[in-house]
A and B are shown apart, each in its own frame.
Chain A
Amino acid sequence: MNDRTELKAKNRKLLLRLLSVVAGMTLFAFALVPIYDVFCDYTGINGKTGGQEEAATDMQIDGSREISLDFIAMKSSDIKASFHPRQSKMVVHPGKVYLTDFFVKNDTDNPVILQAVPSVSPGLAALMLHKTECFCFNQQPLAAGEEKWMTLRFFLDTEFPEDIHNLTLQYTLYDITGKGETGAVAAN
């Protein structure tokens, strides 16, 4: 009899240990979310640009280099709005601050709150695109039928990678009406 109770206790102990592995892996899976964000913030490889409203300080314009920058405006499929850049292409020098704007119009009869989410490719250059002012930093409330031009002020880092000559900055416009302030975008 002793053998059996002993074995039962042993089995139970191992069972609990294995269950703790399961619990640990569940926690790990959820921990992957912040790990992913930190990793991408650090490396910029998922195309998200760096922190907000960076100051343009103490820069030398590198006139010898020209980088072609494309702007793309997209909408998520469920919204009715017009959205396009004023210029679809710019040739820029690293270190120089540029100003451009995007047109947005609410094509519905209701007020909406829109949010633009940027993505830069190639991803490795994402952290080298600095914005001093961007409409994507804020939610954009628009009255029914309202239209406006939204400002983007940016510069490329003087340490912009030598081997990259083309850069695409894409904005996707989402309707976040009713999703509340908590739906605010973490890293633009």
Chain B
Amino acid sequence: MSTIEHTADHDHHDHKPTGITRWLFTTNHKDIGTMYLIFSLLMFFVGGGMAMVIRMELFQPGLQIVDPAFFNQMTTMHGLIMVFGAVMPGMVGFANWMIPMMIGAPDMALPRMNNWSFWLLPAAFTIMILTPFMDGGGPAFGWTFYAPLSTTYAPPSTDFFIFAVHIMGMSSIMGAINVIVTIMNMRAPGMTYMKMPLFVWTWFITAFLLIAVMPVLASVVTMMLTDRNFGTSFFDAAGGGDPVMFQHIFWFFGHPEVYIMILPSFGLASAIIPTFARKKLFGYSSMVYATGSIAGLSFIVWAHHMFTTGMPLAAELFFMYATMLIAVPTGVKVFNWVATMWQGSMTFETPMLFAIAFVILFTIGGLSGVMMAIAPLDTQYHDTYFIVAHFHYVLFPGAIFGGFAGAYYWLPKWTGHMYSEGLGKAHFWTSMIFVNMTFFPMHFSGLAGMPRRIPDYSQQFADFNMWSSIGAFGLGLSQLIFVWMLIKTARGGEKAPAKPWDGAEGLEWTLPSPAPYHSFSTPPKID
């Protein structure tokens, strides 16, 4: 088809509507990506505010600020909002913005569905955030909503929580389908699978994980719903059900879910580190296979979350070894990042700083994960602050630092302006210091036996908790620097060239900055 024909074909899209209707009805991947990212940032602050309440209460032993019932709602909502509202939509935002530009596609494959999958999210989270204001309070059973706490003993608002999970599950599934269809059908001619940037690869695999496990999450909350309202006994021992089965089904979803959150960040780090090391990514194909192996293994390790439910030795051994096996492909990735930096001409702009911190701190979280995989020791760690330290290390300086790195890296492409390196570095160093101050002491309080999700603690944990709380307040405030930087960059600043990073490679840098509303209407040439 000729270029002229093609342009004519697109003509009616080029008058983009203005005002609110532009955002409500948009099918443009860049608009939708922006909305996902802003939504994710908003949820990050809502969930972060809840974390501040938790840390205020835990500043000193004793009960000072909130009552335990509210504290439980805070821990629950903090987890749910951060997992489903901040990290996942944030990564979908990156996928929307970058995948079409990276594979030379004009847009996502299913643009209308793309619009729908975004606009379901505000609906889901409005319902979710309203639950604490309902009679009996919001969900207070932890983000893992174990039965029977979430069935027999849960407040009435739990049914709204279930509905919210259904809606956001639909959103995630549609987002994932869109990513898969885009990657499989929309690649520019010559863009073979093994030429795709690693971010595209990690999202491709993440999307398969999503369509495999989000239906399981939807099913398990449906079982909760019927147990609560329609007299079934899936998880009720009195009716022949089994509450432990809830944990099996939940973690069958839950473990792949943790890789859903981290794999896109692996992709972001793999895009950024080679740019600022000015070397090609070391071991590209091994990175692809490692990501695939991690995803595959994630389906057979779920019961390592449940060692203390009592399982036969053989099962403990199986899940222990399978879990440890994941350290192998993860180690491949970490060593590849280090090898990429090795003897590179490195510079330390903000994206690179966040990416390096990501590699180091994610590795700390990964290693504490290997410690917990050891079944006999897990009995000691289970439900302590050691677990809290572990998953915050892989999520905050892991997934979220990856997201920050990606945001600084592509902001010039998105806005057409260079961000302020001073603000970026201030954001990085404050975050880096405070994230460790918040979460590192939790390793010690956890090993000493401090249980998680409890608003009060014994005197011996007082110092560790005060450190954690001060760190958390600092960490929360540091994120305001990010918002300030974002607003400043969006409004103006030094004009960004098409390729602001001299070591960068990839199709997105062949487009001008800011990226035009419609890009790659004719597929680019790939060598």
A contacts with B: majority SS: helix
Is there a chain A Cβ closer than 8 Å to B507's Cβ? no
* CB-based contact A25/B216 at 8 Å: yes
Residue of B nearest to A44 (CB): B312
* CB-based contact B237/A172 at 8 Å: yes
* CB-based contact A29/B237 at 8 Å: no
| Known contacts A45-B311, A123-B310: A33-B234 contact under CB 8 Å | yes
Chain A residues with CB under 8 A of B216: 25-26, 28-29
B contacts with A: majority SS: helix
* CB-based contact A18/B239 at 8 Å: no
Give the shortest distance, in Å, between A39 (CB) and chain B (any CB): 10
* CB-based contact A123/B213 at 8 Å: no
Interface string of B381-400 (1 = CB under 8 A from A): 00000000000000000000
Chain B residues with CB under 8 A of A122: 310
Is there a chain A Cβ closer than 8 Å to B480's Cβ? no
Is there a chain A Cβ closer than 8 Å to B5's Cβ? yes
Give the shortest distance, in Å, between A109 (CB) and chain B (any CB): 22
* CB-based contact A124/B312 at 8 Å: yes
Number of interface residues of B (CB under 8 A): 39
Chain B residues with CB under 8 A of A14: 180-181, 184-185
Chain B residues with CB under 8 A of A172: 237-238
Query: At the interface with chain B, which of A2-10, A64-72, A87-95?
Result: A2-10
* CB-based contact B240/A186 at 8 Å: yes
Chain A residues with CB under 8 A of B9: 1, 4
Is there a chain A Cβ closer than 8 Å to B211's Cβ? yes
Chain A residues with CB under 8 A of B244: 46
Q: How far is the CA of A172 from the CA of B240 in the complex (A)?
A: 12
Residue of A nearest to B309 (CB): A46
Chain B residues with CB under 8 A of A11: 109-110, 181, 185
Query: At the interface with chain B, which of A53-61, A146-154, A177-185?
Result: A177-185
Is there a chain B Cβ closer than 8 Å to A135's Cβ? no
Interface string of B226-250 (1 = CB under 8 A from A): 0000010110011110101100110
Chain B residues with CB under 8 A of A175: 238
Is there a chain B Cβ closer than 8 Å to A38's Cβ? no
Chain B residues with CB under 8 A of A187: 240
Q: How far is the CA of A24 from the CA of B343 in the complex (A)?
A: 49
Q: How far is the CA of A19 from the CA of B220 in the complex (A)?
A: 19
Residue of B nearest to A178 (CB): B231
Chain A residues with CB under 8 A of B215: 22-23, 25-26, 28-29
* CB-based contact B312/A115 at 8 Å: no
Is there a chain B Cβ closer than 8 Å to A97's Cβ? no
Q: How far is the CA of A32 from the CA of B311 in the complex (A)?
A: 18
Is there a chain B Cβ closer than 8 Å to A21's Cβ? yes
Pick the contact of A121: B223, B238, B310 (CB < 8 A). B310
Chain B residues with CB under 8 A of A36: 242, 245, 248
Residue of A nearest to B177 (CB): A18
Is there a chain A Cβ closer than 8 Å to B510's Cβ? no
* CB-based contact A1/B5 at 8 Å: yes
Pick the contact of A15: B181, B231, B240 (CB < 8 A). B181
Pick the contact of A185: B184, B239, B315 (CB < 8 A). B239
Residue of A nearest to B234 (CB): A33
Chain A residues with CB under 8 A of B249: 29, 32
Q: How far is the CA of A47 from the CA of B310 in the complex (A)?
A: 10
**Nearest 7 interchain pairs by C-beta:** A174-B238, A29-B219, A186-B240, A25-B215, A26-B215, A29-B216, A185-B240
Could you jot down 24 A-B contacts, CB within 8 Å?
A1-B1, A1-B5, A1-B9, A7-B185, A11-B109, A11-B185, A14-B185, A18-B177, A18-B211, A21-B212, A22-B214, A25-B213, A26-B218, A26-B219, A32-B248, A33-B223, A36-B248, A117-B237, A124-B312, A174-B237, A179-B231, A183-B238, A185-B239, A185-B240
Given contacts A18-B180, A29-B220, A30-B219, 8 further A-B contacts (CB under 8 A): A10-B185, A18-B181, A21-B211, A22-B214, A25-B212, A115-B238, A183-B239, A187-B240
Point out residues on A near B: beta carbons under 8 Å. 1-4, 7, 10-11, 14-15, 18-19, 21-23, 25-26, 28-30, 32-33, 36, 40, 43, 45-47, 76, 115, 117, 121-124, 172, 174-176, 179-180, 182-187
